Chain A
C-alpha cells in the first residue's frame, strides 16, 4: 500500500512539474504565437486575390459566432475600393480540423481558395493544395461545379463544405452585389 502511495505521489509530482513548466512557457509564448498566426493569415489575404506582396491593403473584419463561417474580411485597396471578400470557415473531419480561406470578388466569382491550417494527413493535403483547389478559381458562387472524383478524401470534402457555406453566405448577405 505504501509503495503504491509512493508511486502515486511521484507521478503526481512529475505531472505537476510538467504542467507548471508547460503553463509557464505557454504564458511566455502565447502572444507571439497568436501574432505569428495573425500575420500568416493576413499573408493569405493577398494570395487570395493574387496581389503583390508590397501591395497596400486595408481590411475590415466581421466575426460570427455559431455559424459555419467564422469570419468575413472585406479587403480594400489603397484607394479604399473593395478588392473582394474573404470568408474563413472551419470543418472537423476524422483526421482533425481544416481551416479554409475563400476569396470572392465583388461580382461573385471565386478568386482563390487556401487551406490556411489543418491537422489532416500532410501528403493528402499537399495533393489537394496543388491540384484540387485551382479548379474553384473563377467559378461563379451561384453555380459551383464540384469535382466528385476527389470527394472521397476527407480534406477535400471539408474544403467543399466550407466553400459551399461561404458561397451561400455571400449570396444571402452580399447577393445584391452579385445581381
Chain B
C-alpha cells in the first residue's frame, strides 16, 4: 500500500463510521450540529494521530502481555490533554460535548488502529494511517451533522462553540436567501424538522446515509457482476468461435 492509499483509505473505502460502524457513540450523540461534529472530529484527529505515533514508537518496548492496557494509558493521556485544552480554549465546545470527550478513550476506532496498524507498522505510516482514518471519521461526523442541522434548522451555523477565526456566530449556509427570492420575510427555521436535532434524528440521518452508501455499493457490485458475466459470455463466444473454426477446418481437411 502506498502512502497516498494509506492516507485516503479512511475517507470512503474504509470509512470508520459508514463502513466499519466504529465510534458510533459520538456519531449519534454529538452530531446535532455541524460545529459540534467538527469539534469532536478535531479532537479525534489529535488523539488518533498522536496515539498512533506513540504506539508505533514504543511498539518494540511494550511487552505483549500488557499491550492493551499500555495502549489505553497512552490514549487516555492524549484524551486528558485534549480535554484540558478544550476546557481552557473552547469551553463552550467542552460543555456541548460533555462526557463524550472523556469517552474518546473507549472509542473502538482509536484502540483498533493502535492494535491493528500502529503496533505493526513504522511511525510515519502509523501517523498517516491515524490522520487519514481520523479525517475519515471527521468526514463521517460532519456528514451526519450537516444533514441533521440542515433538516432541523434549515441552515448551518458557525461560531457558537468553536471560537476560532470569528468574533460572532454566523450562518455558514441557509436556504432562506433562495426562498426569499420568491417569498418575502420567510424564515426556514420556523419550518425545521426539530426531531433531527434530537437523538432519533441521529439514527434516521445515519440510516439515510448508510442506505445511500449501501445502494451505491450494491450498484457498483451489480455493475461489476454484469461486467464479469459479459466478459465470461465474450470468452465463451470466443471459445465457441474457435471451436467452430477448428471444426470447420477439420471438416475442410477431411473433405
Contact = CB atoms under 8 A, between A and B. Distances in A.
Q: Do A and B bind each other?
A: yes
Nearest to B81: A25
B36 to A, nearest CB: 14
B65 A18 contact: no
Contacts, number: 53
A7 interface: yes
Contacts of A10: 61-63, 66, 70
Contacts of A153: none
Interface in B44-66: 58, 61-63, 65-66
Interface residues of B, number: 22
A36 B91 contact: yes
The majority secondary structure among interface residues of chain A is helix
A21 B77 contact: yes
Interface residues of A, number: 20
Interface string A26-42: 10110011001000100
Contacts of A25: 80-81, 84-85
Contacts of B77: 17-18, 21-22
Contact of B88 (A7, A14, A29, A122): A29
Nearest to B61: A10
A96 to B, nearest CB: 11
Given A11-B70, A122-B99, A21 B81 contact: yes
B87 A14 contact: no
A3 interface: yes
Nearest to B58: A14
A15 B69 CA distance: 11
Given A11-B70, A14-B73, A122-B99, A22 B88 contact: no
B76 A18 contact: yes
Interface string A113-140: 0000000001000000000000000000
A3 B87 contact: no
Given A21-B81, A22-B84, 20 more contacts: A3-B63, A6-B63, A10-B61, A14-B58, A14-B62, A14-B74, A15-B73, A18-B77, A25-B80, A25-B85, A29-B84, A32-B88, A33-B87, A33-B88, A36-B87, A36-B88, A36-B91, A40-B91, A122-B98, A122-B99
Interface of B: 58, 61-63, 65-66, 69-70, 73-74, 76-77, 80-81, 84-85, 87-89, 91, 98-99
Interface of A: 3, 6-7, 10-11, 14-15, 17-18, 21-22, 25-26, 28-29, 32-33, 36, 40, 122
Nearest 8 pairs of A and B residues by beta carbon: A29-B88, A32-B88, A18-B77, A36-B91, A29-B84, A33-B87, A25-B81, A7-B63
